[in-house]
Copies of this chain bind each other. A is one copy, B any other.
Amino acid sequence: MRIHVQNPADETVFPITPQQWDAAIARAPDMADLQVSFASDDAGFAAAMADAEAIVTWTKVVHQRFPKGALPGVAPKLRTIFCTSAGLDRLAPFDWLPEQMTLLNNRGTHAAKAGEFGIMALLMLANHVPWFAHDARQGQWAPRFASVLAGRTVCVVGLGSLGGAVAARAKQFGMHVIGVRSSATPHESCDEVVAQSDIDSVLPRAEFLLLACPLTPQTRGMIDARRLALLPRGGKVVNIGRGALWDQDAVCDLLESGHLGGAVTDVAVPEPLAPESRLWRTPGLFVTPHMSSDDPATYNDRSLDIFFENLRAARAGQPMPNRVVPDRGY
């Protein structure tokens, strides 16, 4: 099978290297017959697309190289597109994807890192760290005391790789975990799970709310001003999903009004945030620059392992576990 790896031309932290590929093959000897090429430029891409059957690449490359109508023309033999991202909202709507082609994401890659970031964010909020960051700008030593997480309630929206890992850490710290996902199917790390359509019923109990779901037409704008107001006074919020999942101006407004007790967000609209954005200046809000879930020490290794698991499933006539369902958006 003929595979092509197309790295973005400007990528310095996460390019997939031939060494990483060889190491992944060493972990998956049944994949040793794959023929692979690497490129980061136009010429390498064009040459490879003549006979590539699968491409391993970035959402931004897919967005740029496969506009609506380009496929199958630019890559006549291509059947599988593997994106090294979990959230493919940038590629929606999926009308550029021919029906016979399979789009895969790398969900599973981010779990360990996302779980650590998530519990860190909950601990930072419990410990008033976003407020201390603002006090520091004025050189103000202003103690606020804090309680442990045990026994407190967190609502985790999205129970995939990211949210599931955060829920597991939250349980480890003795929290009461309410999960929210598309259906109310139980989850091993949650004390309760409700369907997204029932989220309003649990928000009044959510001392902490953490967003870790994909951005789809069903989740866009889900946490609006009305739902933020349903949180108990002093409620604390985290977003490691996508900025458009919530109304970020409403988050700022409710921090300023005192209804919210703190916020940590790793995502924003737009990214990068402009220097003049109010998100940088709102007391109680801590911004990290979209780095919560990507561990450079393991990212490409895990992505390639997951890619090979999917090829293995296809060879065995099984469904590919990372297949993105275009109508669902993830």
Taking A116-B173, A133-B286, A136-B287 as known contacts, 16 extra A-B pairs with beta carbons closer than 8 A to each other, sorted by chain A number, are A112-B150, A116-B148, A120-B129, A127-B292, A129-B286, A132-B288, A136-B280, A137-B280, A141-B271, A141-B272, A143-B290, A145-B294, A145-B295, A145-B296, A148-B297, A172-B172
Inter-chain contacts of A127 with B (CB < 8 A): 116-117, 120, 288, 291-292
Per assembly, the copies of the chain total 2
| Cα–Cα distance between A286 and B116 once the two chains are bound (Å) | 19
Nearest CB of B to A126, in Å: 8
Inter-chain contacts of A133 with B (CB < 8 A): 133, 136, 286
- A binding-site residues for B, Cβ under 8 Å: 13, 112-113, 116-117, 119-120, 123-124, 126-129, 132-133, 135-150, 172-173, 268, 271-277, 280-281, 286-292, 294-298
| Cα–Cα distance between A120 and B149 once the two chains are bound (Å) | 12
Say whether A291 contacts B139, CB under 8 Å: no
Say whether A280 contacts B139, CB under 8 Å: yes
Closest 10 CB pairs of A and B: A139-B275, A141-B272, A120-B123, A147-B297, A143-B289, A139-B280, A133-B133, A141-B289, A145-B296, A147-B295
Q: Which residue of B lies closest to A299 (CB)?
A: B145
Say whether B123 contacts A289, CB under 8 Å: no
Inter-chain contacts of A275 with B (CB < 8 A): 138-140
Say whether A274 contacts B147, CB under 8 Å: no
Nearest CB of B to A175, in Å: 11
| Cα–Cα distance between A279 and B256 once the two chains are bound (Å) | 27
Inter-chain contacts of A288 with B (CB < 8 A): 127, 129, 132
Inter-chain contacts of A295 with B (CB < 8 A): 145-148
Name the contact of A145 in the complex, choosing from B120, B148, B291 (C-beta under 8 A).
B291
Say whether A132 contacts B289, CB under 8 Å: yes
| Cα–Cα distance between A204 and B117 once the two chains are bound (Å) | 27
Inter-chain contacts of A119 with B (CB < 8 A): 123
Q: A127-B291, A148-B295 are in contact. Are A137 and B137 (CB under 8 A)?
A: yes
